[in-house]
Every structure is written in structure tokens, then in C-alpha cells.
Amino acid sequence: MAEDRLHPNLVLERHGNVEVLRVDREEALGALNFEIMEAIGTYVAALPARIDEVRALIITGTGRGFVAGADIGGYHNVGQTVFDGFQRRSRQTFDAIANLPQITICAVNGYALGGGLELALCCDFVFVNEKTKVGLPEIKLGLLPGGGGTQRLTRVVGAMRAKDIMLTGRMVTAAEAVDYGIAMESCAPEALMPRALDYAQLLAGQAPVALRELKRVIDDGMDCALSAGLTLEQRALGALFATKDGKEGIASFIEKRDPKFIGQ
């Protein structure tokens, strides 16, 4: 495993064609300031061009906190321009994560509050540990979620449940997160990263072009009418049939052997 620091509070680990981006700010429970958000954004912006090298990304934290939201101390006594600039940068970063062609997995190792939950909601899959607490408590500051929480959480859990979580500002347990569909699975704390890595490597081993197209068709199809989504599906399937991997997959089935996908 190779490891680099992209920022004093941001560690990058490489596990073959899976990378792990870890927020390393344990003393602040992973709270994000502008500099950390900028570093995450810069890293994520370069990922689409590395699709052949990196097929899956895991985002996690350190210690008891995944990301306990934005660094609220950075909001104190700052002007509107600075505040608005941080919100814009946060949206750019979160949107870039949500739009990555790679598979994204959030391994939530502890508190995921405010921007931490919003970051998790940008990922394809979320795993939590049994001690995880998530929430969007911005109402307690006289504010509201500004990193996509009002929109992404509502799309996951429905309007009534989203209003309950945001209007009360309450913390949601790991079991509730799985029950509501915020997380796919809850693990023992020591099993969280092995489980996330195993799952990432399973997906990274699938036919690369089909993997990307499936993710794209599912995501894009959710934002359009059913008839338009079905058209997306048929066009993508026809395009995949024409690829070398599509031909190889069919041939390997007929010949009763494992396929050798090359990403073309």
C-alpha cells in the first residue's frame, strides 16, 4: 500500500486500482475548513482523467469522527463574501464527487454531521460502523444545509423523513441510517475499512466500460422521465454490445471461461 499526503489533514492511500482518501483531523472530528475542501476538490477534479488507473474511490475519516461538518469557527466574524465563497467551493467539490465516473464509497467511521453527511450522500455507496451518528443539525445554528443536504437527503429518504431529520436537527443512529436507506450496511468498527475495501475491489474488477455506463444510466435516469430513462438504457446497451469487452463477455460465456476485459 502506497500513501501520500495531499494536505496536512488529507491522506491518500493506494490499493491497486482503488484509492482511499482519508480526512485526518481527529482533534476536530474531521471538520472541513476551506483549505481541506480545496484540497479535496483539486484531487477529485483530476480523477476522471485517471479512470483507467483508478476505478474506485473510498472516502473515510480518522478516529471517532468522519467529518463533523464544516469548521464552524471559520464562519465566526467573517463577511458574507467569504461565507458565500466557501459554500460555492463546497458545492463544486460535492458535485464533482457525485459526478465521478469511478465508483465511490463512503466508509463513515464516526460522526457525519452537516457537510459530513452531505459528502457521504454524494457517494454511490455508504457503509457505517455501529457507533456512527449522522445528521444535518444546521437549524440549531439558525441556518440550513448548504452542501446538497436539502436535496440529496430528500431524494434518498423522502420528504417527510428528510424534514424530520433536518427540522429537528437530531442525530440518526447507524441502524436508522441503514433502515432509512442513507447507508447500505452497518459494520463493527474494526470491520468497516476491510468491508469497504473488499466491496470496492469487487466492483473495480467488473468490466470497466460497463461499470461506468451502468452508473451513468442509473444516475441520469433518476433525473428524467421513465421513457427517457429507458431510451438511455437501450442506447447504452447497444453501445456496450459494440465494444471489445461486450464481445469478450459473450464469447467467454459461450466458451465457459472467465472473461478478460480490457476496458475497450
Q: Is 176 annotated in the active site?
A: no
Q: Is 118 annotated in the active site?
A: yes
Q: Which of 189, 99, 105 is nearest to 148 (CA)?
A: 99
Residue with cell 474494526: 190
Q: Name the catalytic one among 138, 185, 213, 255.
A: 138
C-alpha cell at 168: 429537528
CA dist., res. 166 & res. 154, Å (int): 10
Q: Name the catalytic one among 118, 130, 233, 255.
A: 118
CA dist., res. 112 & res. 117, Å (int): 5
Q: Count how many Cα atoms sit within 13 Å of the Cα of residue 236 in the half-sphere of its side chain.
A: 18
Mention every residue, 6+ apart, whose C-beta is less than 8 A from residue 2: 13, 14
Give the residue numbers annotated as catalytic, written as ranges: 118, 138
